[in-house]
Amino acid sequence: RRALVDEIANADPKGWKNDVSPPFKNPTDAVIYELHVRDASINANSGIRHKGKFIGLAESGTKNSNGLMTGLDHLRELGVTHIHLLPSYDFYTIDETRPEKAQYNWGYDPLNYNVPEGSYSTNARDGLARVREFKELIQSLHKNNLRVIMDVVYNHTMLTDDSWFNQIVPGYYYRQNKDGSFSNATACNNETASERPMVRKYILESVKYWLTEYHVDGFRFDLMGVHDIETMNIIAKELRAIKPDILLYGEGWTAGASPLPEELRALKKNASKLDNIAVFSDDIRDGIKGSVFKAEDRGFASGKKGMEESVKFGIVAATRHPQVKYDSVNYSKTPYASSPYQVVTYCECHDNNVLIDKLRLSCPNASEKQLRDMQKLALSIVLTSQGISFLHAGTEFLRSKNGVENSYESGDSINAIDWDLKTKNKDVFDYVKGLISMRKSHPAFRMTSADDITKNINFLHSSGSLISYTINGKSVKDKWSTVFVAFNGSDHEQKLVVPRGKWKTAIVNSLASGTKTVPGKIAPFSATILYID
């Protein structure tokens, strides 16, 4: 609630002018890891000294109770390319004057858009400390070959009548219903009017400021469907003029009705109208694990039949493919992406139940081994599908939130990452690490055009909870000339028909393997990946 006037360069950490982003080529090369700053370090077993702070995540050499890497070193070890930080600008619900009080929020309640969150700094009363320490975190991530995505929430403000915007020009910054009341497509009591010139100008100048002053590498737009297409495309054009390899994506939906016509909104179905700004694919998300709105609903990876086409739709990144039966896809009955750059492929995020909790809730009779296999199968689908890969923090070692569906203010007891789970579930961590390494090593899993996907992916089987397909790797200059991928989403072993050839195994029944044997069967809830050199 206080302002500071100072020269911001006074807050630059040592060597800041020489800070550079790690090399990055195509958007589909990204493996994004979504992480909350406080969650990453607050647990006693994180081994991190500055718990809950920006600079805590910048520490190296940290270990859990059993000596395994945590925090920054863990992220580097896992092999992801981008760290998506949940809101790190100044948000409303944390009282920065009371650092001794345990307070928690995800941060989707904007107050001051252009200042880092004070509770994540070591001293919120020192206005330059939060600037310097956020820059130190970004600098540290860059040095460790990790890029940084900022989660930004320009679609609404925490306050409405009393917001800073409304005090400047009452009513101008927000859309209204016909009766003059504030419209509410965000379910947060207001929605900003991005199509109005000064609102558009504010958002544009804000993202450019974070890009140039803080060296961030991309933005995730919360409820992007509230914004208009024209504004989003102007943002994309101007940011790429500064940083050509910037990564932009967002939620292609709203949380309620908006007075802005649908055809003008940055919705999922309008993805092809966006300038290579990606949208999250809820089609593959719920195809894999079941509806996020129905805890008991299962998906392909948890044994629900009839989800094959929804998963195939995600495998080809919502682009047009002659072998996808669109009338059987769960949500989208037509492809909406003109490029795999336009789709974020995922099966969980901070919203709703984390994956292992969803599996436990929807499969109450499943054994722990079955649940573990389902988790590995779900992540196998995500990390071998086309599009931009996206993981929620801790999924690689079965992070749980004890069944709390939306933990935005549930506190550390629910949200803190339990780093000792990495020891308990080391096999899952190693498996996911291997999947990420495989994806990064093989362009067959991250094609850059819809035409390549259509020509080079050939589905062989897609019924009875079994999906199999081949990828022509040679065509996209992969060292694997042909790849065979199979997923068994049933609770029983299935026969696997593999085309003739001298196959080698990358993964058999969700186990890494270097043998030359080709299995004739695929285990329950598992993935098999074969290749020919």
**Active-site positions?**
222, 251
Whether 28 contacts 386, CB under 8 Å: yes
Cα Dmax for the chain: 70
Size (the chain), residues: 533
| Separation CA 310–CA 331 (nearest Å) | 8
The helix/strand/coil state of 326 is helix
Whether 90 contacts 82, CB under 8 Å: no
| Separation CA 110–CA 151 (nearest Å) | 11
| Separation CA 203–CA 385 (nearest Å) | 33
Instruction: Let me know if 27 is exposed, middle or buried by CB neighbors in 10 A (0-12, 13-18, 19+).
Output: buried
| Separation CA 112–CA 90 (nearest Å) | 5
What b-and-e string marks burial along 322-355, b requiring 16 or more CB atoms within 10 Å of the CB?
A: eebeeeebbbbeebbbbbbbbbbbbbbbbebbbb
| Residue located via tokens 């999947």 | 435
The identity of residue 349, as a single letter, is C
**What is the phi-psi region of residue 303: left when phi exceeds 0, alpha when psi lies from -120 to 50, beta otherwise?**
left
How many of the other CB atoms lie within 10 Å of CB of 5?
5
For residue 144, give the DSSP letter. Answer: T
Whether 298 contacts 430, CB under 8 Å: no
Which two tokens mark 86?
């949940």
| Pairing status of strand 482-488 against strand 526-532 | antiparallel
What b-and-e string marks burial along 469-487, b requiring 16 or more CB atoms within 10 Å of the CB?
A: bbbbbeebebebebbbbbb
Instruction: Let me know if 104 is exposed, middle or buried by CB neighbors in 10 A (0-12, 13-18, 19+).
Output: buried
| Separation CA 101–CA 93 (nearest Å) | 13
Whether 489 contacts 287, CB under 8 Å: no
| Pairing status of strand 521-522 against strand 494-495 | antiparallel
| Separation CA 523–CA 131 (nearest Å) | 51
